[in-house]
């Protein structure tokens, strides 16, 4: 145990390897510690259990980074962890052969709780979920620059995270909109906008899978965002007709640019999916492939019932737009909604819509978004591909 570090004591015996330890399980330290301080952690019996970040302001009071007493949390520690993350993407997943955009660090799934790093060509975007990781931002950038020497950096933390973790993240000026390549297709990305780190990298594998069903088909993409599924359906999948619907004017503008980049003729409509579907359904409009990929519906456990009701309403309407025998692709990126809850919501939506749903495949995020078996919170994305009759 390091004698230089402050010690934080648990009220419990440590019987889990989950990296999060909540405030109610932690004794208040005798000394005042800055949010994100590196500390040694001992349990109620004074047994050393780990080393990590302490934040007395956060519901997650402790984020355990190592359970090896000989391992120091310093620049070398982060260099080793990042090297392991990069090796997974480059050597095992071989992502550089299909894209120049992928997730380099997926927080707990890569043993770096509170940090997400996405690569978009020559831009590396760091998203901070913890005050501790933010304090090490220079160290992290230096280690990443060693592997990606020509990169520019952008970093941010969402406002609600800054409040929860009580830190002030000062982001630099966002980089200019750039272009990335994915399976031979091109997309413009805008890190620093309101759409995560710039592009939904987690759907890469699902986009390709769905495109393989689209040849000669009429495709409707609801909540199309910047056009990921639509461009794949038309340019890679050779769909006969593709329509993308999204309420966000900026997303639609970027989607049009992405279609143009790939010489793909796609019709984009800025509209709320509810009134739009209620207008087109009575006219008999039906599609061979319907994709529904809405944004996260809640971060708050108290609002879970409301989120499930939203999923029910969206799926019931979207199912009615699927032609008989057609394909329905429905997604949830709300981490609080379990796969079981999502499937139950889909069952109810199908019953209310008078449709039979035959599930062909259930998948999640692309493999550059790994999750640990003992940290199921990392498995947030659910994607169901089904035939509808």
Mean pLDDT (whole number) for 120-136: 96
Mean pLDDT (whole number) for 290-318: 93
What pLDDT sits at residue 195?
Answer: 58
Q: Are 7-66 and 200-388 in the same CATH fold?
A: no
pLDDT at 96 > cutoff 90: yes
Closest CA to 42 of 10, 5, 18, 1: 10
143-180 tens-digit pLDDT? 999 999 999 999 999 999 999 999 999 999 999 989 99
Query: What are the tokens at 211?
Result: 């495109």
Cα–Cα distance measured from residue 27 to residue 9, given in angstroms and rounded to the nearest whole number:
6
pTM given for the model:
0.94
203-229 tens-digit pLDDT? 999 999 999 999 999 999 999 999 999
pLDDT at 1 > cutoff 50: no
Cα–Cα distance measured from residue 306 to residue 337, given in angstroms and rounded to the nearest whole number:
11
pLDDT at 63 > cutoff 50: yes
CATH class for domain 7-66?
mainly beta
Mean pLDDT (whole number) for 118-131: 96
What pLDDT sits at residue 3?
Answer: 58
Provide CATH code, domain 75-165: 3.30.750.80
Cα–Cα distance measured from residue 297 to residue 273, given in angstroms and rounded to the nearest whole number:
15
Q: How confident is the model at residue 2 (pLDDT cuts 50, 70, 90)?
A: very low
Number of Cβ atoms within 10 Å of the Cβ of 205 = 18
Tell me the domain boundaries of the chain. Answer: 7-66, 75-165, 200-388
Q: How confident is the model at residue 313 (pLDDT cuts 50, 70, 90)?
A: very high
The CATH architecture annotation of domain 200-388 reads 3-Layer(aba) Sandwich (3.40)
Average pLDDT, the chain: 95
């Amino acid at each position: 145990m390091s004698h230089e570090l402050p010690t934080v004591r648990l009220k419990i015996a440590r019987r889990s390897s989950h990296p999060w330890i909540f405030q109610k399980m932690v004794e208040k330290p005798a000394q005042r510690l800055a949010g994100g301080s590196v500390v040694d952690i001992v349990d109620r019996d004074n047994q050393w259990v780990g080393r990590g970040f302490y934040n007395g302001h956060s519901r997650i009071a402790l984020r355990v980074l190592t359970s090896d007493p000989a391992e120091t949390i310093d620049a070398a520690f982060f260099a080793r962890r990042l090297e392991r993350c990069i090796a997974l993407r480059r050597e095992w997943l071989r992502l550089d052969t299909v894209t120049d955009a992928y997730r380099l660090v997926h927080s707990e799934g890569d043993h770096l709780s509170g940090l997400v790093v996405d690569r978009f060509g020559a831009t590396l975007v760091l998203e901070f979920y913890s005050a501790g990781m933010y304090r090490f931002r220079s160290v992290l950038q230096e280690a990443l620059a060693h592997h990606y020497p020509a990169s520019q950096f952008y970093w941010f933390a969402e406002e609600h995270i800054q409040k929860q973790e009580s830190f002030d993240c000062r982001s630099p000026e966002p980089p200019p909109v750039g272009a990335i390549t994915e399976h031979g297709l091109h997309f413009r990305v805008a890190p620093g906008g309101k759409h995560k780190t710039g592009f939904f990298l987690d759907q890469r594998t699902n986009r390709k899978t769905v495109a393989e069903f689209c040849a000669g088909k009429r495709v409707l993409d609801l909540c199309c965002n910047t056009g990921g599924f639509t461009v794949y359906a038309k340019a890679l999948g050779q769909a006969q007709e593709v329509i993308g619907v999204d309420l966000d004017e900026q997303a639609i503008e970027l989607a049009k640019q992405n279609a143009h980049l790939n010489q793909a003729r796609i019709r984009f409509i800025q509209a709320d999916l509810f009134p739009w579907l209620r207008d087109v359904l009575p006219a008999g409009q039906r599609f061979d492939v319907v994709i529904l990929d809405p944004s996260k519906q809640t971060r708050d456990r108290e609002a879970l019932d409301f989120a499930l009701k939203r999923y029910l309403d969206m799926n019931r309407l979207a199912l009615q737009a699927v032609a008989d025998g057609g394909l329905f692709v429905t997604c949830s990126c709300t981490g609080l909604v379990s796969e079981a809850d999502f499937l139950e919501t889909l069952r109810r939506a199908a019953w209310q819509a008078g449709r039979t749903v035959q599930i062909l495949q259930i998948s999640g995020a692309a493999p550059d978004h790994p999750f640990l078996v003992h940290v199921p919170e990392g498995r947030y994305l659910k994607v169901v591909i089904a035939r509808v009759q």
